[in-house]
């Protein structure tokens, strides 16, 4: 029996490490030399192995151990990162994921019937065979080394410390050996080399040093140099190449870890265990179950409601007036902090996509350049959890229906490699997530045709419609334009589900597409689900709340200003024609319906959703206040025009108007 607390921790951490591995391996594919990534990937495999061993998962331990070995060889420069190597690592990663899933399924036990020996052998074979050939290369390199003299890190512990201290955040540490041509003025050229280094970075140490070079009579044929520079390796080398008559013989970028580790290695070893415990204690983060945060949010919501009630008591005493603003401030800050805690960068969710795109594009024989931006954009945890499926679907669609095959693209005069962009950013109080491709785009005529076929719309209606409304049909249940059903996407389910999920999160999805050029799906989401500013209104005596981010403005109009366009009531506001609806009407209240006959002026709230506007006629405009959004629960979830409820000052319930429903 496994202790459940440990097991949960294992799954949480395993998930994290798998993500690190996944991202790292994909980064390596593009930057095989990226030492930092190699190290990160190695460390992840190593930690995963450690955890697996502690929990007694033998298969997982064995597998991660083998992968760790491979990666270690890469670190040591004995193995090269090739496509085969990446494929093997990814396979390994899949196996890790598989094992972890199995362990989860079997409630903390590794099932016996799993046989990974074949794969593990493959790993071992790969390591061996490629190492043999690399060994030879190593040997010949070693020969060269001997010719040019010893190229070893030759720093004392104190020097290493100082070097690490001198190093600024993004600077790199280079250790190189420069050989002078066997010509005259060797020392002058040596001096030029050092001067050049000072131009492009900082000279930390050289053997011989400047003074020695200047005073040298016999000439200098090699210099050992330790330097710090912002320049990446290649550029740094190029700069040095400008000095004529001097050639770089050896070049190393030094890792901080290397410098820190190498001093008194033995001591480090014996302290290893202790160090591990330390890093555990030093960790400044806490893992919290999301449900505990939910409880906390609810309690803060309660507090807020009661504060509002307290405020509405309107007690005229100086002490009260002194305390209230304080209470106000504290509750606001409390609310703010708790919401902050729930925020997670979208990168957490994005990180799985590069792998998916890679696999899918290979499968579909498409070439895709996948770009992600704004991974650091933060969203409420609960939104992130819900959003990953719809985004997966949109991305799959972009690969399947969007980006064309290289041949087709070439024929159209587009670059053979398609481009899919996934971007997140904040805009006002909303988070925008875009999925953009430069593929085939959507043909509105075809969509319209299909909509008629499926009896969604009549031909006459279609003629009256604008392009964006026609494109909106793809969100209609049972609508699919894919010529053939693939297992990647397209069975007609999908886009409507995507829209439902987004709607459930109180967000919106829209599409822009230019036929032949590509499509962009834009999802906009509220920053947080729980608390928002709202405009309170009255309809037939009941109080309703309208989220302020959907309110464009409020007006009072005289009934004579209402005009008719195509049989519908509109008002003209600053040259824009805005349709009008009456809240009493859509809520099915009787009376009030003949607002045009009203003798008094009408209160109108101009609602906006996306780029559409609509005027909502209400009975009375009340105040603006902060509301805690509560769900109506599953029982009333699909109520038209109502998205939730909130509790107002007197403890009564006010319903929240679903602006999207009205404007759409």
Q: Is residue 595 classed as helix, strand or coil in its secondary structure?
A: helix
| 503 touches other proteins by CB under 8 A | no
Dist. CA 310–CA 526, nearest whole Å: 28
Dist. CA 578–CA 570, nearest whole Å: 5
Give the helix/strand (H/E) hosting 385: helix 381-397
68 in active site:
yes
Nearer to other proteins, 310 or 372 (CB): 310
Q: Is residue 172 classed as helix, strand or coil in its secondary structure?
A: strand
Exactly one of 190, 383, 654, 659 binds other proteins (CB under 8 A); that residue is 654
Nearest to 251 by CA among 263, 242, 240, 261: 240
Least Cβ distance, residue 301 to other proteins (angstroms): 7
Least Cβ distance, residue 588 to other proteins (angstroms): 5
Dist. CA 492–CA 502, nearest whole Å: 18
| 218 touches other proteins by CB under 8 A | no
| 640 touches other proteins by CB under 8 A | yes
| 647 touches other proteins by CB under 8 A | yes
Q: Is residue 287 classed as helix, strand or coil in its secondary structure?
A: coil
Pair 28, 41: CB distance under 8 Å: yes
Least Cβ distance, residue 646 to other proteins (angstroms): 9
Q: Which of 16, 19, 46, 443 is catalytic?
A: 46
Exactly one of 134, 258, 369, 542 binds other proteins (CB under 8 A); that residue is 542
Dist. CA 577–CA 570, nearest whole Å: 6
Nearer to other proteins, 424 or 659 (CB): 659
| 390 touches other proteins by CB under 8 A | no
Q: Which of 29, 68, 250, 404 is catalytic?
A: 68
| 389 touches other proteins by CB under 8 A | no
| 300 touches other proteins by CB under 8 A | no
Q: Is residue 439 classed as helix, strand or coil in its secondary structure?
A: coil
Q: Which residues between 565 and 604 bind other proteins (CB under 8 A)?
A: 586-589
| 618 touches other proteins by CB under 8 A | no
Around 209, how many Cα atoms within 13 Å sit in the side-chain half-sphere?
4
Count of residues in the chain: 664
Q: Which residues between 20 and 59 bind other proteins (CB under 8 A)?
A: none
Nearer to other proteins, 471 or 529 (CB): 529
Dist. CA 581–CA 573, nearest whole Å: 15
Which letter does DSSP use for residue 255 in this model? P
**Phi and psi at residue 508, to the nearest 5°:** -135, 155
| 642 touches other proteins by CB under 8 A | yes
Which letter does DSSP use for residue 181 in this model? -
Nearer to other proteins, 164 or 299 (CB): 299
Nearer to other proteins, 445 or 652 (CB): 652
Exactly one of 271, 323, 371, 653 binds other proteins (CB under 8 A); that residue is 653
| 652 touches other proteins by CB under 8 A | yes
Stretch binding other proteins (CB under 8 A), from 230-238, 415-423, 511-519, 649-657: 649-657
Nearer to other proteins, 119 or 641 (CB): 641
Question: Chain centroid to CA 548: how far?
Answer: 28
| 641 touches other proteins by CB under 8 A | yes
Nearer to other proteins, 10 or 544 (CB): 544
Stretch binding other proteins (CB under 8 A), from 192-200, 395-403, 548-556, 639-647: 639-647
| 428 touches other proteins by CB under 8 A | no
Calculate helix-pair angle for 381-397, 290-312, nearest 10 degrees.
Answer: 120
**Phi and psi at residue 593, to the nearest 5°:** -65, -35
Instruction: List the structure tokens of 573.
Output: 């506001």
Dist. CA 417–CA 403, nearest whole Å: 9
| 180 touches other proteins by CB under 8 A | no
| 632 touches other proteins by CB under 8 A | yes
Q: How big, in percent rounded to 5, are the helix, strand and coil portions of the chain?
A: 50, 25, 25
Dist. CA 551–CA 538, nearest whole Å: 15
Q: Which of 22, 23, 59, 397 is catalytic?
A: 397
Nearest to 441 by CA among 404, 475, 468: 404
Exactly one of 87, 184, 302, 333 binds other proteins (CB under 8 A); that residue is 302
Dist. CA 508–CA 427, nearest whole Å: 14
| 620 touches other proteins by CB under 8 A | no
Tokens 């480090």 correspond to 268
Instruction: List the structure tokens of 169.
Output: 């955040």
Least Cβ distance, residue 630 to other proteins (angstroms): 5
Least Cβ distance, residue 461 to other proteins (angstroms): 24
| 305 touches other proteins by CB under 8 A | yes
Nearer to other proteins, 413 or 651 (CB): 651
Question: Chain centroid to CA 517: how far?
Answer: 26
Exactly one of 295, 298, 458, 558 binds other proteins (CB under 8 A); that residue is 298
* Residues binding other proteins: number (CB under 8 A): 27
Residues 6+ apart with CB under 8 A from 162: none
Stretch binding other proteins (CB under 8 A), from 206-214, 298-306, 452-460, 478-486: 298-306
Least Cβ distance, residue 306 to other proteins (angstroms): 9
Least Cβ distance, residue 629 to other proteins (angstroms): 10
Exactly one of 562, 580, 655, 662 binds other proteins (CB under 8 A); that residue is 655
Least Cβ distance, residue 463 to other proteins (angstroms): 31
**Phi and psi at residue 158, to the nearest 5°:** -65, -40
397 in active site:
yes
| 630 touches other proteins by CB under 8 A | yes
Burial letters 543-570, b for 16+ CB under 10 A, else e: bbbbbebbbbebbebeeeebeeeeeebb
Least Cβ distance, residue 651 to other proteins (angstroms): 6
Least Cβ distance, residue 628 to other proteins (angstroms): 9
Looking at the DSSP bridge assignments, the partners of residue 535 are 546, 624
Least Cβ distance, residue 334 to other proteins (angstroms): 16
Interaction site with other proteins (CB under 8 A): 298, 301-302, 305, 542, 586-589, 630-636, 639-642, 645, 647, 651-655
The residues carrying an active-site annotation are: 46, 68, 397
């Amino acid at each position: 029996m496994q202790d459940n607390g440990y097991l949960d921790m294992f799954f949480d951490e395993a998930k994290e490490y798998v993500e690190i591995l996944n991202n790292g391996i994909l980064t390596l594919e593009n930057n095989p030399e990226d030492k930092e990534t190699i190290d990160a990937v190695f460390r992840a495999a190593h930690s995963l192995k450690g955890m697996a061993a502690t929990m007694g998962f033998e298969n997982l331990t064995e597998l991660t151990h083998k992968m760790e070995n491979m990666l270690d060889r890469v670190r040591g420069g004995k193995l090269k990162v090739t496509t085969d190597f990446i494929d093997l690592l990814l396979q390994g990663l899949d196996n890790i994921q598989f094992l972890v899933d199995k362990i989860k399924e079997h409630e903390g036990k590794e099932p016996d019937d799993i046989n990974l020996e074949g794969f593990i052998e493959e790993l071992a074979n790969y390591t061996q065979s490629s190492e043999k050939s690399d060994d030879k290369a190593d040997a010949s390199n070693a020969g060269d080394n001997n010719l040019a003299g010893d190229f070893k890190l030759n720093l004392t512990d104190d020097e290493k410390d100082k070097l690490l201290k001198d190093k600024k955040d993004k600077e790199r540490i280079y250790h190189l050996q420069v050989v002078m041509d066997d010509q005259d003025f060797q020392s002058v050229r040596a001096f030029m080399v050092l001067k050049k280094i000072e131009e492009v970075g900082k000279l930390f140490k050289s053997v011989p040093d400047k003074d020695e070079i200047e005073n040298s009579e016999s000439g200098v044929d090699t210099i050992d140099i330790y330097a710090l520079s912002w320049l990446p390796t290649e550029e740094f080398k190029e700069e040095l190449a400008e000095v004529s008559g001097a050639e770089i013989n050896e070049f190393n970028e030094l890792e901080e870890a290397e410098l820190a580790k190498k001093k008194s290695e033995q001591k480090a070893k014996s302290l290893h265990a202790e160090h591990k415990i330390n890093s555990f204690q030093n960790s400044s983060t806490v893992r919290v179950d999301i449900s505990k945060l939910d409880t906390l949010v609810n309690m803060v919501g309660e507090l807020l409601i009661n504060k509002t009630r307290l405020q509405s008591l309107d007690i005229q005493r100086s002490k009260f007036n002194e305390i209230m603003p304080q209470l106000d401030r504290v509750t606001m800050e409390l609310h703010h902090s708790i919401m902050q805690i729930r925020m997670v960068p979208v990168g957490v969710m994005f990180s799985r996509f590069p792998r998916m795109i890679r696999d899918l594009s290979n499968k579909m024989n498409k070439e895709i350049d996948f770009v992600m931006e704004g991974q650091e954009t933060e969203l409420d945890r609960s939104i992130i959890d819900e959003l990953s499926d719809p985004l997966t679907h949109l991305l799959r669609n972009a690969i399947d229906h969007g980006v064309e095959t290289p041949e087709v693209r070439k024929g159209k005069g587009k670059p053979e490699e398609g481009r899919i962009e996934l971007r997140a950013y904040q805009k006002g109080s909303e988070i925008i997530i875009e999925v953009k491709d430069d593929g085939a785009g959507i043909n509105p005529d075809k969509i319209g045709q299909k909509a008629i076929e499926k009896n969604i719309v009549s031909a006459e209606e279609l003629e009256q419609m604008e392009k964006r409304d026609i494109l909106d049909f793809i969100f209609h249940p049972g609508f699919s334009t894919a010529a053939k059903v693939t297992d990647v996407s397209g069975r007609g389910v999908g886009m409507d589900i995507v829209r439902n999920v987004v709607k459930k999160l109180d967000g919106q999805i829209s599409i822009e597409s230019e036929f032949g050029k590509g499509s962009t799906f834009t999802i906009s989401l509220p920053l947080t689900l729980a608390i928002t500013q709202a405009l309170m209104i009255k309809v037939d005596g009941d109080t309703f709340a309208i989220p302020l981010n959907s309110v464009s403005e409020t007006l009072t109009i005289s009934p004579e200003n209402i005009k008719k366009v195509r049989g519908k009531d509109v008002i003209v506001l600053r040259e824009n024609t805005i349709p009008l609806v009456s809240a009493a009407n859509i809520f099915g209240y009787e009376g009030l319906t003949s607002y045009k006959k009203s003798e008094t002026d009408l209160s109108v709230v101009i609602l906006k959703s996306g780029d559409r506007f609509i005027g909502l006629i209400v009975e009375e405009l009340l105040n603006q206040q902060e509301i805690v959004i509560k769900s109506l629960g599953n029982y009333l979830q699909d109520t038209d025009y109502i998205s939730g409820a909130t509790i107002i000052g007197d403890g009564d319930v006010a319903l929240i108007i679903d602006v999207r429903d009205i404007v759409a």
